[in-house]
Structure 1
Amino acid sequence: MAELTLAHELALLAYDDKGTLQLNRPALDHGLAGALLLELALAGRVEVVDDRLVVADPTPLGQRQLDDALARIGADDKRRRPKDWVGRLARDLPEQVLDGLVTAGVLRRESDRVLWVFPRTRYPSETGAEPAAETRARQRMTAAVAADGPVEPRTAALIGLARAVRLDRHLFQDLPSDRVKHRLAEIAAGDWASAATRKALQETEAAVLMVITSAATAATMTAATS
């Protein structure tokens, strides 16, 4: 397939080698929506102005999910916050991203039932081992967290996404926890992109975390009152 987007990489990281999702579903949905916004910001297509996300360049990128998101943002007659777009873009997004990985032969789809009753869909790799694209993403993220100094923008953005959806505890478990905590904060505050791009990325990552936290709180309250 064409070069993987941040959404593709996040989806690969979110599933274990058996094809089982390691996150709750709202976290995956909103994380992937955030990935689209981060990709658009890195490409100079969107930026944050007065706390609202706006299109800076409407030129398509040639990737369906990204171009659809860019068109929706540009066509909206109201300027919205990154948080609003994370919620709006999340619907059906995991299926679209995973379909792309299946079509490309990176993953395969397996449907069965748990205890012969509950339907389940898993997404293991075609070989049964970790996909090469996922290995590369893990390696560059781990190298960035283990090292000092500047971080390549796409890697920094992917690390920020992983942190927002709470995948960091799985990805960096072999590194000292104090080191990981300090380095993630350093990368989040780092001067590794233009001021406009960095602002868009920081606000998008914060928006993903906010939406996920709100969804988790709502689910907990619903369970407690049922």
Structure 2
Amino acid sequence: MNLLEELTLLAHDQLGRRVIDNTRIDHGLGGALLLELVLAERIDVADRRVVTRGDGPLGDALLDEALDRIAADRRSRKPVDWVKRLAKGARHRVIERLVAAGALRVERTPVLGIFSRTRYPGAHGAEPAARAEARERLRGAILGSGPVLPRTAALCALVAATELDRKLFADLDRKLVRARLKEIGQGEWAAAAVRKAIQDVQAAIMAGAVVASTAAAVSS
């Protein structure tokens, strides 16, 4: 499972219901795309702008499309710009991928005979193993005190930026969780350039979600 798939699984409960709003999920996935490219050493953030590194495909359609878009863009854009651009359509594609892989299934229930409610429970009536593994990996990182692996640190950054930790770890002390997530984000768990890029993407997710939520509130 990559970061996009893990974040999508974590953003739904065992009944397949969203535990955070679509705005946060979408911006989180836009950020997850950037973080996967950071971890693959195919992009960097230099002078607060996203720049590409290396060449050749990664073998993942979503990642390769994102990388091609960044490389082909004539403008030098900030992480927050790419988070918003890459967020569009990502959620549906990731869910389709998880359904095709047998991790989730689509459950549609009629509402008042007019609308339908869509949920994404585990394909076999049980919690997807990948969700349980990701959640326990995060819990271990939060309750621990040492350094964590770069991929786990990146997932921690996504969870913190989308405020998903409020739902996943409601049984833990809120201040402890936020303090540990901040510590992980600033810790010496990866090369300085990678760590800084992940911090910039995390900030971009938070900023993008706030702007989108404010715009939605004003329009309503």
Question: Partner amino acid for 2:165?
Answer: D
The match for 2:137 among 140, 143, 146 is: 140
Structure 1, gaps ≥5 residues long: none
The match for 1:215 among 195, 212, 215 is: 212
* Residue of structure 2 in register with 1:109 after alignment: 106
* Residue of structure 2 in register with 1:130 after alignment: 127
What SS does structure 2 have at the residue aligned with 1:48? Answer: strand
* Residue of structure 2 in register with 1:59 after alignment: 56
* Residue of structure 1 in register with 2:24 after alignment: 27
Counterpart check, 1:192 vs 2:189? yes
Question: Partner amino acid for 1:116?
Answer: G
In structure 2, distance between residues paired with 1:28 and 1:96:
13
* Residue of structure 1 in register with 2:158 after alignment: 161
In structure 1, distance between residues paired with 2:113 and 2:71:
46
* Residue of structure 2 in register with 1:83 after alignment: 80
In structure 2, distance between residues paired with 1:69 and 1:121:
27
How many pairs are equivalent?
220
* Residue of structure 2 in register with 1:100 after alignment: 97
Q: What displacement does 1:57 show?
A: 1.8
The answer as to whether partners of 2:12 and 2:19 remain within 8 angstroms in 1 is: yes
Q: What displacement does 1:53 show?
A: 0.1
Q: What displacement does 1:176 show?
A: 2.0
CA offsets per residue over residues 65-86 of structure 1, 9 Å max, x none? 1111011111111111111011
In structure 2, distance between residues paired with 1:177 and 1:21:
21
In structure 2, distance between residues paired with 1:11 and 1:5:
10
Alignment RMSD (CA, Å): 1.1
In structure 1, distance between residues paired with 2:55 and 2:2:
18
The answer as to whether partners of 1:33 and 1:87 remain within 8 angstroms in 2 is: yes
In the superposition, the TM-score normalised over structure 1's length comes to: 0.94
In structure 2, distance between residues paired with 1:62 and 1:69:
12
Aligned-pair identity (%): 50
Q: 100-109 or 181-190: which moved more?
A: 181-190
The answer as to whether partners of 1:151 and 1:187 remain within 8 angstroms in 2 is: yes
CA offsets per residue over residues 33-90 of structure 1, 9 Å max, x none? 1001001101111001111001012332211111110111111111111110111111
What SS does structure 2 have at the residue aligned with 1:125? Answer: coil
Q: What displacement does 1:109 show?
A: 1.1
The match for 1:44 among 36, 41, 60 is: 41
CA offsets per residue over residues 129-162 of structure 1, 9 Å max, x none? 2100001000110000001010111111101101
The answer as to whether partners of 2:103 and 2:128 remain within 8 angstroms in 1 is: yes
Question: Partner amino acid for 2:143?
Answer: A
What SS does structure 1 have at the residue aligned with 2:108? Answer: strand
